Structure 1
Amino acid sequence: MSVLKVEQNRHICQVIINRPSSHNAINFAVMDALEELLDEMEANTDIRCLIFTGEGDDSFISGGDLKEFHTIKTAEEAKPMAKRMLTILKRIEQLPCWTIAAINAPAYGGGCEIMLAFDFRIASEEATFGFTQGKFYLPPGWGGLTRLVEKVGRSTALQWLAEAKIVDTESALRHKLIDRTAPPDKLQEQALSWAKKMSKNDRPFIKNLKEGAMRTTKARWEAIDAELDTFAEFWESDLHEQRVEKFLQRKDN
């Protein structure tokens, strides 16, 4: 079974992360598939918009696959994994085409970090957003802290992360975490309609706009890169290990 379902229709590429039994969690196989997808997206000049969503009704992306990543114990081991995802999200953000995250269901932890790397976000009215990294004694490690502060402001971002907050779509829309909402059964239809409206100009035009909007980002990239070191340090802490063990034991029972 492919971990990504990919369909291109003229200028629009629709991608579904396809691990519903694992709540569409990110593992190494998904990273491999995302890197291959990005190679194609960067090279295919026909694509003017990417729509990304999750399979099923239970989850958009639940974050990193703790069962698989739990074998990683030290900061030295955690850094390559986190850096790989950080690089994938940078590549998504820098694609010379528009990108839309269609949040079909709850997004937690790294799932929220992933959606923040997209240009635009449309969410099901029943979706929720969990900034739950703190439950596992981890700060964001994929650029999510910097991007969250950009979207909702410093105070709100810090409060949500401190409280491991679960945010509904109404609050997410009010704080500009997301751009639009849609009824669950209309989400993909409305995301596609939105993509078609934005795909009238070619990639050189889209690239010009996106690069123009990022001209003052040197310090921003430094801030995103700096998240990697602190993430890795907390990853190897005893408290992180204990909280993940407790979570996995609860899931297995």
Structure 2
Amino acid sequence: MAYNNIQTESKDNILYITINRPKQLNALNRETIGELSQAFKDGEANSDIQVIILTGTGEKAFVAGADIKEFANYSVEEGKSLSADGHKNLFDLVESLGTPVIAAVNGFALGGGLELAMSCHIRVASENAKMGLPEVSLGVIPGYGGTQRLAQLVGKGKAIEMVATAGMINAEDAHHWGLVNHVTFQSELLEKCQEIANAIKKNSPKAISNAIKAINAGFEEGKNGFEEEINQFGNSFGTADFKEGTSAFLEKRKPNFKGE
């Protein structure tokens, strides 16, 4: 599929999605959100794809925020709709994918950009990355899951500080706070993401998908994470991957998982 704002490439069972709006520092607008949504859905539906790596064009920005001019004159109801649609079509979608998503945070990840990175399962930042949720400086609050996912990752106090001050933190602080998994040189960012992806690819895609469901359940209102773990653990026994994994272990060979 041809896109106007993103680029996609598949290689070695990895789908690379690159937000390509360099003049706007890869800011998110409605069209870009729609294209990202479709690309993630296509990646999830493709059984050959085992990992997705998301990044932005250039070295300045992963995503420098949302495209403010699109919603500057919105009403209350239009604002609610903008947030709800974004949650459903992209941010919640990414978080709930069974295919692991790694955010390669190259440069600024602000507002909707940080919210997008936080919806990914794993985050790797370049040493020049700057992260923040500056929405209150515009008289609004994070609307794409930022108030919830940030608190889950760094704790309530740190989340309130970041949101209320509208300040940015550097990559080292983000790593120290648990906001990102790793920090690396800009030149080695994709290499580090590929290293993680290759480690993931050795394991059962079906089991990884089940594990993501169980982990996410612990943070979802109305769900019991322990119960979901029991269910997904049991479900694993009915998969071809489980039979292959246990057979390979007993036969002292490497497993050949099919994601089934």
Q: TM-score range by the shorter chain?
A: 0.7 to 0.9
SS of match in other structure, 1:213: helix
Bigger Cα Rg: 2
Residue deviations 1:149-189 (CA, integer Å, cap 9, x gap): 11101111101111112101111111011110110111111
Aligned counterparts of 1:112 and 1:133: Cα–Cα separation in 2: 12
Residues in 2 aligned to 1:128 and 1:134: alpha-carbon distance in whole angstroms: 17
The answer to whether residue 119 in structure 2 is matched with residue 117 in structure 1 is: yes
Query: After superposition, what is the alpha-carbon deviation per residue over 1:56-79, rounded to whole angstroms, capped at 9, x for unaligned?
Result: 122110111012232x42011122
Q: Give 2:190's aligned amino acid.
A: Q
What TM-score results when the alignment is normalised by the length of structure 2?
A: 0.81
Match of 2:154 in 1: 152
**Which runs of 4 or more aligned residues in structure 1 lie more than 6 Å from their structure 2 counterparts after TM superposition?**
none
Asked if 1 retains the 8 angstrom alpha-carbon contact of 2:128 and 2:186, the reply is yes
Q: Counterparts of 2:95 and 2:135 in 1: how far apart (Å)?
A: 22
Query: Hey, what does 2:187 align to over in structure 1?
Result: 185
1:47 paired residue number: 49
1:84-99, aligned counterparts within 5 Å?
84-87=85-88, 88-99=90-101
Q: TM-score scaled by structure 1?
A: 0.83
Task: Give yes or no for contact 1:105–1:126 (8 Å, CA) kept in 2.
Answer: yes
Aligned twin of 1:228:
none
- Offset at residue 201 of structure 1 (A): 2.2
Q: Deviations over 1:219-243 (max 9, x none)?
A: 179xxxxxxxxxxxxxxxxxxxxxx
Matched residues in 1 for 2:172 and 2:46: separation?
36
> What CA distance in whole angstroms lies between the structure 2 residues aligned with 1:213 and 1:82?
24
1:101-116 paired onto structure 2 within 5 Å? 101-116=103-118
How much is the aligned-residue C-alpha RMSD, in angstroms? 1.5
Residue 166 (structure 2) aligns with: 164
Question: Cα–Cα, structure 1 residues 220 and 16, in superposed 2: closer, same or farther, change >3 Å?
Answer: farther
Match of residue 235 from structure 1 = none
Partner amino acid, structure 2, of 1:105? G
Find the aligned partners of 2:222 and 2:187 in 1 and give their Cα distance: 37
**Runs of 5+ consecutive residues of structure 2 not aligned to the other structure:** 224-260
- The answer to whether the 8 A contact 1:45-1:203 is kept is no
The runs of 5 or more residues in structure 1 that have no matched partner are 222-253
Cα deviation digits, residues 33-77 of structure 1 (max 9, x gap): 11211221221122111100010122110111012232x420111
Higher relative contact order (CA 8 A, sep 6+): 1
Query: How many residues in Structure 1 have an aligned counterpart in Structure 2?
Result: 220
